[in-house]
Amino acid sequence: MELIRDLLVQGVQMLVVVALAPALLGLVRKVRARLMRRRGASILQPYRDLLRLMRKDVVLAENASWLFRAAPYLIFAATWVAAALVPTFAFGLQFNWTADLIAIVALLGSARFFLALAGMDVGTAFGGIGASREMMIASMAEPAMLLAAFSVALVAGSTQLSTVAEHMATEAVGLRVSLGLALVALVIVALAENARIPVDNPSTHLELTMVHEAMVLEYSGRHLAMIELAAALKLLLYISLIICVFVPWGMAGAQSGVLAYLAGFGFWLAKLALGGVALGAFEVSIAKMRVFRVPDFLGAALMLGLLGVLLLFVSRSL
Amino acid sequence: MRKDFRMSAVDLALLAVAALLALGAYAIPFGRQTAARPLIYGASAMLCTVLLLLGVAVLAGQAGVSARVLPIGLPWLGSHWGLDPLSAFFLVVVGMGGAAASLFAIGYGRHEGEPMRVLPFYPAFLGAMTLVVLAQDAFSFLVAWEVMSLLSWALVMAHHRTEGTAQAGYVYLLMAGFGTMALLLAFGLLAGPAGDYGFAAMRAAPRSTTLAAVILGLMMVGAGSKAGLAPLHVWLPLAHPAAPSHVSALMSGVMTKVALYGLIRVVFDLAGPLEWWASPAVIVMGAATAVLGILSALMATDLKRALAYSTIENVGVIVLALGLALAFRANGMTAPAALAFSAALFHIFNHAAFKSLLFMGAGNVLVATGQRNLDALGGLIHRMPVTAALMLVGAVAISALPPLNGFASEWLLFQSVLLSPDLPQAGLQIIVPAAGGMLALAAALAAAAFVRIYGVGFLGRPRTDAARSAVEADRFSLAAMGVLGLICVLAGIFPGVVLDLLAPATEAMVAARLPLQAEQAWQTLVPIAEARSTYSGLLVFAFITITSSGSAWLVHRFASRRLSRGPAWDCGFPSNLANSQYGAGSFAQPLRRVLGSILLGAREEVTMPPPGSTAPSRMIVRLRDWAWEGIYQPLAAAINTVATQANRLQFLTIRRYLSLVVGSLVSLLLVLTIWN
Amino acid sequence: MDRIAFDIAHLLAGGLVLVSFMMIYQERLTALLNVFAMHAVVLALSVSWQAHIQHAPHLYVTAAIALVFKAMIIPGALHRIIRRMGIHREVETVVGVGLTMLAGMGLVAMSIVLMLRLTEAADTFAREDLAFALSVVLLGLLMMVTRRNAVSQVVGFMSLENGLILAATGAKGMPLVVEISVAFSVLIAFIVIGVFLFRIRERFDTIDLGALEEYRGENQ
Amino acid sequence: MNALLANPAYAILAIPAGTAVLLALLPGYRLTARLNVAASFATLLAALALFFVPRAAPGPYLLVDDLNIVFVVLNTFVGFTAAYFSASYIGHEMETGKLTAASLRFYHAMYQLMMFGMNLALLSNNIGLMWVAIEIATLTTVLMVGIYRTHAALEAAWKYFILGSVGIALALFGTILVYLAAQPVLGEGAASMIWTNLLSRAAEFDPAILNLAFVFLLLGYGTKVGLAPLHAWLPDAHAEGPTPISAVLSGLLLNVALYAVLRFKMLIATHPDAIAPGPLMVGMGLLSLIFAAFMLYRRRDIKRLFAYSSIEHMGIIVFAFGMGGPLANFAGLLHMVMHSLTKSAIFYSVGHVAQIKGTQQIDGIRGLTQSHPALGWGLALGVLAIAGMPPFGVFMSEFLIVTSTFAREPLLALLLVFGLLVAFGALILRLAGFIFGEPTGKVGPAEASLAPLYAHLALVLAAGIFLPGPVVAWFRAVAALLG
């Protein structure tokens, strides 16, 4: 019974994240449009896009190899698994212990790895641009992410997300400088990883500044749909990751009743929406930066992460 | 003698080595016959498999720790050989790499221009590496070590007429000699004035921690130079690519590990306890090596050279782990020490697997296209599908991506980095996380490097006719690569098995071991405690396969499955020039500007043609090797100057020579007068 | 031994050193050869005196060897060589004679200090004698070092040998084997030098080593 | 005759002496060459007989003890292989007209005379006799170095002769001083020149005279050993003489001179108040090692290259004996033997290489493994062995020297290692050039006699892997003897 319930919860979470991801994307777009004094498409627009793409034929470049066709599913799978392992509305899900924070970062890494390869597979200039810039950004962002993860893990004494969340939920933590630094770092990384302004502009084409879009340029139909869905999932993943680490309040405890779960779910939705709105607002308020400014931006994140970790040590050794 | 003589594991190992050496000897007269190649390589493969099994047997406790003294080597000492857990683990590494490389060579060796420059040395090289692992006294160890260097040098010089090889071989052998001298000194300290060259005696002898630290330093120089530790790495990217590819695989995948074995054996086993202040240097050196190595790999346009640089990175990672183990051990934190040490051993195993795999793939590419330059390749995934697929496995594994084995070991290493706050010394508390950051950077850069290698080399469109007309390699080569690929996957999915296997070695070195992983559900890794951190390669693998195939099935079932081919869109500006693709240089450009300009002094020189001229504009990238310019060139220059100055003494007149004699006589007499 | 014998021996040995000095400041080859002949004569005298006072008749053989070979045959031979090959007659020195003299003084001083301080144990005469012998040896070396052309170097070498003989005879009861060996070595030395002068002459007109030393193993 | 059988020492001396006379009379180089080989072989047998015939008590002139047996056997063995090698080598020289029949007769006679001199020097129990013998050996080699009559050869021989005779003189003076020191204790006459007597009573001698004597002997015989800065004659003599003589010079004559130095070192060492000979030897050894190591880089002539490497190794050996102690002495002896075998092997191969390529210039020798595999790999093995690479014997001795020194005198060990590395670099640099790359010059087949080359290499290899118990015991006895 227990087991079944846990499996159920886990399953629900998996489905929920994949179901909500496009909505979150839609919300962000809506917010941006509103702030720009446009009405903007409805929040459900992403679902429509995805469905249409799903139904379209795939037009494959002659040169495309099997890797190009397999990549979308692999990317989607890796992202989804990662997203499924981040506690959203409840601690201690059945499979939380499958992978910890580091593993989740690495899973996203695998997704990126295949995306970059897919970008290079057709052998176009744009694909190469996208891949090389993506890897450059990633090689700055990943260490920053891991350092942020370090300081979080050091505070919580674990890299196990649900444990971390539980620990953070307790008042024992209080306010810590290093956590603040880690938060900032994590936010910057999230922006970069999700190809948001100021690092990349998700809604541009035919610009030499594009990164993510350049890689998926050759994709069409269902393949593109999978990739877009994966991207949306990734955004959701990052937001709920930040939520569960820094504002875990209201999450349902492990093996608690249905009501608790529902409550937790409600809290989570609210936080998610807030996150989306904040992101939209932020994106509108600043401009995209040149590609070669990005490293400085991420370098700052790296430094913040390192500083956070060091401060933690200092405070301990004092 | 009534007790009947039973063959112990080490005896079998020694017999296998003897057989390998005999193979080498056999190749001298008969190597020219066509039947010789498959016979020699096949036999080597079998013998290496035997060694592999022996190692596994010892680690699994099936065969006891055994030792044997042969009446050769140093007269009054004899030569001691033994097979304890540590040796057994490295025997596994040597056996695995050797077996795979030999199997590969059955097919690959067919393309060898001058087989007589490879066949005699190859089996002996395998034997020498095994002997290093088995040696239990300083003399036998050094003999085996140096013979290993010598034979690998001969193998590097197999293609002695291709330009660049001469320099590679020279630098390599010189560095090998340098390293050996450092080892000589280290063993001199270990043996003491009485000259107890047996490992047992060295282990027993009491030693001050300062002396132990000096020994550690000497070993970092001696073994480090062989393993490719910066700044002693300069020979490696020259020598490893120059050798025939199956030898490159051995040198990168196995020989560097044997070098690390020397380091571990002396530092953890013989030198005795160390103070904590000895470890930071090791940690920093490892981290620096990792970042520098992978960054150079990211800049290299030569496929095999890029792989060699990535070897340097992995060696750095391993040394970093060993440094952590030292730090923990020095503070009596045995469990974390065990974690770091297991991470190191596990990564050694993994790297042996995927680096050999990658070099073999490079070998196939070299045979198929005759090209090592990435910018001359491309699109090989169409022409060489199997090689490409296996290379992909290797690339994913070495980029430390789940669910393959590379990630499992780096994950363990990150876990041990996360234990650093418990270290009492503030110095370590600052250094270790910084090193962790550099480790993360190295891992990320590795992913970038292998996206570049794979994307430019195997994906996209062929850039030359050679690449256009490439053909898939023979089945032996592919079989060997397949085996290694399988190992990479399995070790990633069932890391617990490997960890349990190498636990005895860990226990022997740091007096602690990881909790038994076999009893964890779902093959989960639990380094310290369930609550702290867990990772289940099996489940991640299962989830990814299920979700990806499931989603694919769903999409094809319910959405659309129609597919049509068309020209690439490329934002509406498709170019059929193969060179319009991103090449190796252009892919590296962003990182070259961001990091390369600082760490490698990368400079871009653009020459623009005058307006109106149709001449192409050129961009030349210049990289600087600080180690080379800062250490080696000045040294060489100094020796040159001294030699030139000293050489005048060859051209004196007889009278002047006489005055030298008289001068020394008079001075000695003066010494006497004063001495009285 | 009685005072007078000692003084005579002393005188002769000292005379040898003096003649060595004379050799150093010769400027013409012929004169040098004559002085060397004198050197040999003095040596012969001193050796025979030793033979007399040590009652060691075999030393007379040595004296005779010295007298016959070194005082007559060899200078004569060298004179002929010089004449035959028309070697320019003056001694080419490397450093000024004055400096050479000073160096010689220094060497003699050193050897005397060395010997007198060293050999308290040995009987006084042997000590004095050794001191002189050492100085002669060192002066011979000095001459070889500071002279450019072969004849004078050969002469220097021979004066060095004389010093050895002086030392040998000074050592009481030194078996005959040594004297013979000295003579032997001198003999060999001369045969070989003769051979060489001959060969060399086949190729060059001079035996000035400078000509030989153009080629020094490896072309620079 | 019975005397010869009773004490092989007599045979060891009589055979070369007799053969020398015979060879001087016989015409025809084929015959003389064969006779030369045969005689050398007989001498070798006689030397080996020393093991089996009970040793005669040390007489007034001859002495056979553990120390000089090592040298005698080595001497006669290399003498034999060198004679064998020279039989084929000299034949080629004759055909190319570099030598005449007359000069060949002379050559063979001198060869045996030289062997006689060296054996006598090793076996003599009388320091005067030893001196005479060494001079015989030196002068005969002088003649053989000059045998080509070329400008370079004469110059080399002349240099060798002048420096050699100065060495002679200094050594003699040292010998006289030793006698002078001994005379008050052992009385006048031959008694005070007999080595065994000297050793037994050395402690009572006047230390001051002993010191002076040692200085002269070290310089006198050191000139023959080729220690820097007394080495000047050595490279040219090696380079310009016939290659068999280069092999014998490097392999044997240097050892003989070293043997003399060792004898006197033992003498001084027994005296408590005398100056310690160790530091002097260590200093000169290091100087020679490092100096020669640097000289290796600028060489253009292959034989001169290996001549300098001989200086280097003599430096190592003298260093080891200077350090003293059981390990270092053992290592020194081993190194000496290994060096003789290896270096002569190298010269055997170099001789043929030079004949094939028609030049001794290093630039003219490329890609030997391509054109002449057997010869090329032989040279390669030899050079690797001399560079101290295992599994050859030189490695074992260097291993012992370095490790034992570092535990006692770290600084000296560092200097030693530095010198070794510099030399290693130079040798490997040259070696790669010799054996790899595109072959230059003539690539025609060589009528080379590889037997001696590979015989030596096999011995060196065997020694590096397995030293038989008796040999070890014997070496250790000698090492103990050297103190």
Each residue of D289-342: pLDDT tens digit?
Answer: 999 999 999 999 999 999 999 999 999 999 999 998 888 999 999 999 999 999
| Chain B residues whose beta carbon lies within 8 Å of the beta carbon of residue C133 | none
- Give D238-275 pLDDT, tens digit per residue: 998 899 999 999 989 999 999 999 999 999 888 888 88
- Segment among A227-231, D193-197, D281-285, D345-349 with least mean pLDDT: D193-197
- Counting CB pairs under 8 A, whether chains C and B reach 3 or more, is yes
pLDDT of res. C200? 46
Question: Of B6-20, B472-486, B516-530, D92-106, which one has max mean pLDDT?
Answer: B472-486
Residue D445 reports pLDDT greater than 60: yes
- Cβ distance D298 to D331 under 8 Å? no
Residue B557 reports pLDDT greater than 60: yes
pLDDT of res. B568? 87
- Report chain C's C-alpha Rg in angstroms: 18
Task: Please answer yes or no on whether A81 and B401 come within 8 Å at the CB atom.
Answer: no
Q: How many domains does chain B have?
A: 2
Residue among C167, C185, C195 minimizing CB distance to D173: C167
Give A4-8 contacts, CB < 8 A, sequence gap 24+.
A5/A255, A6/A93, A6/A94, A6/A255, A7/A94
B457 part of a folded domain:
yes
Task: Please answer yes or no on whether A65 and B455 come within 8 Å at the CB atom.
Answer: no
- Give B249-269 pLDDT, tens digit per residue: 999 999 999 999 999 999 999
Closest chain B residue to C135 measured between Cα atoms?
Answer: B666
B605 part of a folded domain:
no
B245 part of a folded domain:
yes
- Which residues neighbour B486 within 8 Å (Cβ) at sequence distance 6 or greater? none
- The shortest C-alpha distance from C196 to chain B (Å) reads 15
Residue among B139, B166, B177 minimizing CB distance to D432: B166
**Collapsed DSSP state (helix, strand, coil) of residue D361:** strand
Domain extent at residue A248: 2-317
pLDDT of res. C2? 65
Taking the alpha carbons of B281, B287, B290, B291 in that order, is the dihedral positive or negative?
negative
B606 part of a folded domain:
no
- Can you say how many angstroms the Cα of residue D275 is from the centroid of all Cα atoms in its chain? 27
Instruction: Provide the 8-state DSSP code for D126.
Output: B
Q: How many domains does chain C have?
A: 1
Q: Mark whether B183 and B67 lie in a shared domain.
A: yes
Q: How many whole angstroms separate alpha carbon D34 and alpha carbon D39? A: 9
C199 touches B: beta carbon within 8 Å: no
Amino acid, single-letter form, for residue C30: T
| Chain C residues whose beta carbon lies within 8 Å of the beta carbon of residue B673 | 110, 113-114, 117
| Chain A residues whose beta carbon lies within 8 Å of the beta carbon of residue B444 | 109, 138-143
pLDDT of res. D307? 95
| Chain C residues whose beta carbon lies within 8 Å of the beta carbon of residue B670 | 110
C218 part of a folded domain:
no
Domain extent at residue C61: 3-212
Amino acid, single-letter form, for residue D361: Q
pLDDT of res. C190? 58
- Cβ distance B44 to B20 under 8 Å? yes
- Segment among B202-216, D4-18, D62-76 with least mean pLDDT: D4-18
| Chain C residues whose beta carbon lies within 8 Å of the beta carbon of residue B661 | 141
Q: Is D341 exposed, middle or buried (0-12, 13-18, 19+ CB in 10 A)?
A: buried
D162 touches B: beta carbon within 8 Å: yes
pLDDT of res. D321? 95
Task: Please answer yes or no on whether B662 and C216 come within 8 Å at the CB atom.
Answer: no
Q: How many whole angstroms separate alpha carbon C173 and alpha carbon C176? A: 8
Mean pLDDT, residues C69-79: 80
pLDDT of res. C214? 47
Closest chain D residue to B117 measured between Cα atoms?
Answer: D369
- Give C23-32 pLDDT, tens digit per residue: 988 888 888 8
Predicted ipTM of the assembly:
0.91
- Give C107-148 pLDDT, tens digit per residue: 998 888 887 765 555 566 667 778 889 999 999 999 888 887
Relative orientation angle of helices D29-52 and D8-25, to the nearest 10 degrees: 180
Which residues in chain A (8-47) have CB-CB distances under 8 A to chain B? none
pLDDT of res. C127? 74
pLDDT of res. B202? 93
C20 part of a folded domain:
yes
- Give A73-100 pLDDT, tens digit per residue: 999 999 999 998 888 888 877 777 777 8
B558 part of a folded domain:
no
Task: Please answer yes or no on whether B658 and C107 come within 8 Å at the CB atom.
Answer: no
Closest chain D residue to C159 measured between Cα atoms?
Answer: D169
Task: Please answer yes or no on whether C172 and D142 come within 8 Å at the CB atom.
Answer: no
- Give D145-157 pLDDT, tens digit per residue: 988 878 788 778 8
Q: Mark whether B99 and B223 lie in a shared domain.
A: yes
Q: How many whole angstroms separate alpha carbon B309 and alpha carbon B289? A: 10
Token pair 């010789």: residue: B36
Which residues in chain B (547-586) have CB-CB distances under 8 A to chain A? 547-549, 551-552, 555, 559-560, 562-572, 574-575, 578, 580-583, 586
Q: Which of B504, B520, B539 is the last residue of a domain?
A: B539
Name which of D173, D303, D306 to mutate to probe chain C: the one with the most chain C Cβ atoms within 10 A of its Cβ. D173
A109 touches B: beta carbon within 8 Å: yes
- Segment among A49-53, B457-461, D141-145 with least mean pLDDT: D141-145
C144 touches B: beta carbon within 8 Å: yes
Q: How many domains does chain A have?
A: 1
Task: Please answer yes or no on whether D215 and B143 come within 8 Å at the CB atom.
Answer: no
Task: Please answer yes or no on whether D128 and C172 come within 8 Å at the CB atom.
Answer: no
pLDDT of res. C204? 36
Which other chains touch chain A, taking contact as 3+ CB pairs less than 8 Å apart?
Answer: B
- Counting CB pairs under 8 A, whether chains C and A reach 3 or more, is no
C220 part of a folded domain:
no
The size of chain A, in residues, is 318
B589 part of a folded domain:
no
- Give A245-273 pLDDT, tens digit per residue: 888 888 887 767 788 888 989 999 999 99
- Give B143-189 pLDDT, tens digit per residue: 999 999 999 999 999 999 888 899 999 999 999 999 999 999 999 99
Mean pLDDT, residues B505-513: 91
- Segment among B357-366, B463-472, B614-623, C196-205 with least mean pLDDT: C196-205
- Give A95-119 pLDDT, tens digit per residue: 777 778 899 999 999 999 999 999 9
C172 part of a folded domain:
yes
| Chain B residues whose beta carbon lies within 8 Å of the beta carbon of residue A226 | 551, 555
Q: What is the 3-state secondary structure (H, E, C) of C15-57?
A: HHHHHHHHHHCCCEHHHHHHHHHHHHHHHHHHHHHHHHHHCCC
- Give B628-651 pLDDT, tens digit per residue: 888 899 999 999 999 999 998 888
C82 part of a folded domain:
yes
Closest to B120 measured CA to CA, from B29, B46, B238: B29
- Give B648-666 pLDDT, tens digit per residue: 888 887 788 889 999 999 9
Q: How many whole angstroms separate alpha carbon B435 and alpha carbon B327? A: 13
Task: Please answer yes or no on whether B531 and A158 come within 8 Å at the CB atom.
Answer: yes
In chain B, the N- to C-terminal Cα span, in Å, equals 65
B294 part of a folded domain:
yes
A163 touches B: beta carbon within 8 Å: yes
Which residues in chain C (56-115) have CB-CB distances under 8 A to chain B? 94, 107, 110-111, 113-114
- Counting CB pairs under 8 A, whether chains A and D reach 3 or more, is no
Task: Please answer yes or no on whether B189 and D467 come within 8 Å at the CB atom.
Answer: no
Enter the tokens of residue A100: 């910890």
Q: Which of B539, B554, B571 is the last residue of a domain?
A: B539
pLDDT of res. C218? 54
pLDDT of res. B527? 81
Token pair 């292959």: residue: D302
| Chain B residues whose beta carbon lies within 8 Å of the beta carbon of residue D219 | 661, 664-665, 668
Token pair 């919580």: residue: A156
Enter the tokens of residue A199: 């690092």
**What is the overall mean pLDDT for chain D?**
90
Residue B405 reports pLDDT greater than 70: yes
Task: Please answer yes or no on whether D294 and B639 come within 8 Å at the CB atom.
Answer: yes
Task: Please answer yes or no on whether B396 and A222 come within 8 Å at the CB atom.
Answer: no
B387 touches A: beta carbon within 8 Å: no
Residue B49 reports pLDDT greater than 90: yes
For B37, phi then psi, to 5°, come to: -60, -55
D474 touches B: beta carbon within 8 Å: no
Residue C184 reports pLDDT greater than 80: no
- The shortest C-alpha distance from A73 to chain B (Å) reads 5
B566 part of a folded domain:
no
Domain extent at residue B221: 9-539
Task: Please answer yes or no on whether C121 and D184 come within 8 Å at the CB atom.
Answer: yes
| Chain C residues whose beta carbon lies within 8 Å of the beta carbon of residue D60 | none
Residue B45 reports pLDDT greater than 90: yes
A78 touches B: beta carbon within 8 Å: yes
Mean pLDDT, residues D410-433: 94
- Segment among B306-320, B572-586, D440-454 with least mean pLDDT: D440-454
Q: Which of B539, B573, B594 is the last residue of a domain?
A: B539
Q: Which band of pLDDT confidence, cut at 50, 70 and 90, is reported for residue A177?
A: confident
Q: Is A246 exposed, middle or buried (0-12, 13-18, 19+ CB in 10 A)?
A: middle
Name which of C113, C145, C146 to mutate to probe chain B: the one with the most chain B Cβ atoms within 10 A of its Cβ. C145
- The shortest C-alpha distance from C143 to chain B (Å) reads 10
pLDDT of res. C195? 47
**Collapsed DSSP state (helix, strand, coil) of residue D99:** coil
Q: Mark whether B488 and B381 lie in a shared domain.
A: yes
Q: pTM score, two decimals? A: 0.93
